Structure 1
Amino acid sequence: MFLAMNRFRIAIGHEEAFEAIWKGRDSSLAEMPGFQSFHLLRGDTNAEEGFTLFASHSVWANKDDFVAWTKSENFRAAHKNAADNKAIYLGPPKFEGFSFVEGA
């Protein structure tokens, strides 16, 4: 299995807007071969640096299935309006990919 994670630093005061973007998106992940699950997580607020941490993660059967998603028309459609809300982000998301070693 493969876990794909993006970490987002969202400007304080824009957390609800960020969540609404994700909740209202037209996702086609379930149509993709190898897709298993998706979660959006909200972390702590760092008042000193002015952001709340969020992480999205999706679980895939394998890395190849995830890479196929990133090259698909479904991926392009899901991300076509990403720049529309640029002001709520403190920098680009940070991607991290993980292969499962052990799990329950």
Structure 2
Amino acid sequence: MSFIAMNRFMVCSGSEAEFETVWKSRESRLKELDGFREFRLLKGPEGEGYTLYSSHVIWDSRSDFEAWTKSEQFREAHKNAGSQTKKYELMGPPQFEGFETVLHEG
């Protein structure tokens, strides 16, 4: 059974390019962690004054995800999060959602 960790970001209109650049240029250390399978940054629909994005990380298990949140790699990846947000604007903080897979086809 896998675990999917998602963060939703409401990126203010006009800040999309900066938001994507920050994600594309970051040093990801996810591959160093046990249980990491896949990362995707998803661009969703536009709303009133924002574009919806979601980071989507697939882990082998919830415990693998929780180990990531307590790891040196996690601290390193998030140490400049506050300064990075100055490059783009968000409508509120990211919203975390975690899901355990109950059915997978493919």
Corresponding residue pairs, total: 102
| Structure 2 unaligned blocks of 5 or more | none
Helix, strand or coil for the counterpart of 1:13?
coil
**1:70 is aligned to 2:81:** no
Q: CA RMSD in A?
A: 0.9
- Partner of 1:53 in structure 2? 52
Whichever residue aligns with residue 4 of structure 1, its letter is: A
Whichever residue aligns with residue 64 of structure 2, its letter is: D
TM-score, normalised with respect to structure 2: 0.93
C-alpha separation in 2, matches of 1:83 and 1:29: 20
Helix, strand or coil for the counterpart of 2:43?
strand
Whichever residue aligns with residue 16 of structure 2, its letter is: E
1:81: Cα distance to partner? 1.0
> Residues 11-50 of structure 1 correspond to what in structure 2 (within 5 A)?
11-46=12-47, 48=48, 50=49
C-alpha separation in 2, matches of 1:29 and 1:89: 24
Helix, strand or coil for the counterpart of 1:88?
coil
1:90: Cα distance to partner? 1.2
- Which deviates more from structure 2 when the two are superposed, residues 62-71 or residues 82-91? 82-91
Whichever residue aligns with residue 58 of structure 1, its letter is: V
Identity %: 52
> Which whole-Å deviations, capped at 9, do the CAs of 1:11-66 have from their partners, x for residues lacking one?
100001000000000000001000000000001111x3x11000001000000000
| Structure 1 unaligned blocks of 5 or more | none
